[in-house]
Structure 1
Amino acid sequence: MTIVTSPARTPRFTLAWLVLLTVAGCEEVPRTYSTASDGARVIFTDDFDRGVIGQDWLTTGSGVALDRGALHLAELRNHPVWLRQPLPDNVRVEFDAWAETDEGDIKAELAGDGSSFAKAASYTATGYVFILGGWNNSLNVIARRNEHGDDRVAVPTDPQLEPDRRYHVTITRRGGELRYELDGRLVAEMVDDAPLTGPGQQHFAFNNWEAGTRFDNLVIYALE
């Protein structure tokens, strides 16, 4: 494993990030992971095995469908699919995700307001943005609101996401500490010195720009 040292501390964040372990031949990784921890309690699940999105979710634009037991997103242009249920500050979110093309660009948001969406070409999120294989499968990112901001964590996508390969994603948040994992391996960490908490910062969303992506087997845990 190659460890990249943290960049200099900014006024708002202490940032740290690690590069993924490179797996020779990109062999398929088992889809089952043991992420149980003391005090974790399941508060929401969704396997998307139905015909319509349902009342648990708020769609803010076209391009959302349930297809073959998964949530399919394409051409959303930052119109998130918001989970209506408010979440606690300390939370772990797990799901399977895969990209349909070699562009990658798997995207989710946490600690958002539950309703916002892009009203122009540019978009500033209301919470934390998590991206795998963004910018044409070149970067993995954690960002506080602005995914293009100088204070984001941006790690080269290595290896790149493979089209139609299922990955298991884990996002863990305890106060201002955020961890991003792919198939059980740490992708990035962020420590926010002014964490987004409380009313207006309690919702999770799946998001998308253009390239088709799919999501399945969502499980959300409240953490002590």
Structure 2
Amino acid sequence: MLGVPRITPRFARVLLTIAVGITACVPSQPSDSKPDAAPKTTKKAESKPRTAPTHSAGRRSTPPNEQPPDPLLTAPFEDRFDRTDIGSDWRSLGNSWSIKNGKLCVRQARNQGIWLRRRLPINARIEFEAVSESPDGDIKAEYWGDGLSGATSVSYTNATSYLTIFGGWKNSFHVLARIDEHAPNRLEVRTNLTSPQEREKPVTPGRSYTFRVERTDGKTISWWVDGHLIHRLEDPEPLVGRGHDHFGFNNWEVPICFDNLMITPL
């Protein structure tokens, strides 16, 4: 029977040294990982940069290239044209307009009018004087238009306003039109030199006429010349609001002068 060998302290130290060396040679690796697996990384959350707001919350900013609206008329406005230049109160669409002898005069504008840089309220009274120096008459003005537009073709069929044409078409008609001065449903009266009714008489060259156009109920346009009612139009779809809030004078080709404009909010 063999005896159990005696382990001396020196021999025990040798065995311990061998065991530690073997353990150090074994790589440390989780039992469920693969030798070729790439190391796992934690992706850092990406944060979007914060930008300052471009305008205050709830406030409408003006789009690029859009001009601020013209001032709204809340009190009577008057222009007697007693100056040498048209001035900044008016927006002219062409070079045909000028001040002559204290009047706003025009010729050959071809429906490129001049707009007052003020917004009309829905209800207002517009009064002015006008003289045609031609036997063709043709005194024209626009009411509740966009303040920017003129004719884009020979025929003015795409206005933004109501139009009064006193002695139009070579002094043959007095016309109140909506948008299209050639529309078949325009209000017109044929002129007659011998008519006893003042509203039917043609324009007399060199005579000063007093015009009055007003809207008091938001839908009905009434037009008088020298106190005589020419037309009254009740519009089921009235021109109101943005794009229909300016007054302007217009002209085709005859020499016309305007004076003593008065606009009264109603």
Normalised by the length of structure 2, the TM-score is: 0.67
1:192-215 C-alpha deviation (Å, 9 max, x unpaired) = 000010111100000000001110
**How far does residue 119 in structure 1 lie from its aligned partner after superposition?**
2.3
Q: 2:256 is matched with which residue?
A: 213
Q: 1:159 is matched with which residue?
A: 201
**How far does residue 120 in structure 1 lie from its aligned partner after superposition?**
2.0
Rounded to whole Å, the distance in 1 between the matches of 2:149 and 2:85 is: 22
Q: 1:78 is matched with which residue?
A: 111
Q: 2:137 is matched with which residue?
A: 104
Q: 1:197 is matched with which residue?
A: 240
Which of 188, 193, 197 is equivalent to 2:231?
188
Rounded to whole Å, the distance in 1 between the matches of 2:164 and 2:75 is: 21
Q: 2:164 is matched with which residue?
A: 130
Normalised by the length of structure 1, the TM-score is: 0.80
1:158-207 C-alpha deviation (Å, 9 max, x unpaired) = 21111110010000113110111000110111000000101111000000
**Match of 1:125, SS?**
coil
Q: 1:51 is matched with which residue?
A: 84
Q: 1:10 is matched with which residue?
A: none
Q: 1:92 is matched with which residue?
A: 125
Structure 1 unpaired stretches of 5+? 1-40
**Match of 1:172, SS?**
strand
User: Cα RMSD (Å) of the superposition?
Assistant: 1.0
Q: 2:11 is matched with which residue?
A: none
1:4-25 C-alpha deviation (Å, 9 max, x unpaired) = xxxxxxxxxxxxxxxxxxxxxx
| 8 Å contact from structure 1 (residues 42, 219) kept in 2 | no
Which structure has the higher relative contact order (CA within 8 Å, separation 6+)? 1
Rounded to whole Å, the distance in 1 between the matches of 2:163 and 2:234 is: 14
Q: 1:34 is matched with which residue?
A: none
Q: Which runs of 4+ in 1 moved over 3 A?
A: none
Q: How many residues align?
A: 183
Rounded to whole Å, the distance in 2 between the matches of 1:117 and 1:184 is: 29
Relative to its length, the structure with more helix (as a share) is: 2
1:173 aligns with 2:206: no
Whichever residue aligns with residue 151 of structure 1, its letter is N
Whichever residue aligns with residue 184 of structure 1, its letter is G
**Match of 2:249, SS?**
strand
**How far does residue 42 in structure 1 lie from its aligned partner after superposition?**
4.8
1:34-89 C-alpha deviation (Å, 9 max, x unpaired) = xxxxxxx8521100110000010000012111001101011000001000100101
Relative to its length, the structure with more strand (as a share) is: 1
Rounded to whole Å, the distance in 2 between the matches of 1:43 and 1:79 is: 26
Structure 2 unpaired stretches of 5+? 1-73, 192-199
Q: 1:139 is matched with which residue?
A: 173
Q: Higher Cα Rg: structure 1 or 2?
A: 2
Q: 1:22 is matched with which residue?
A: none
Whichever residue aligns with residue 154 of structure 1, its letter is E
Rounded to whole Å, the distance in 1 between the matches of 2:75 and 2:102 is: 21
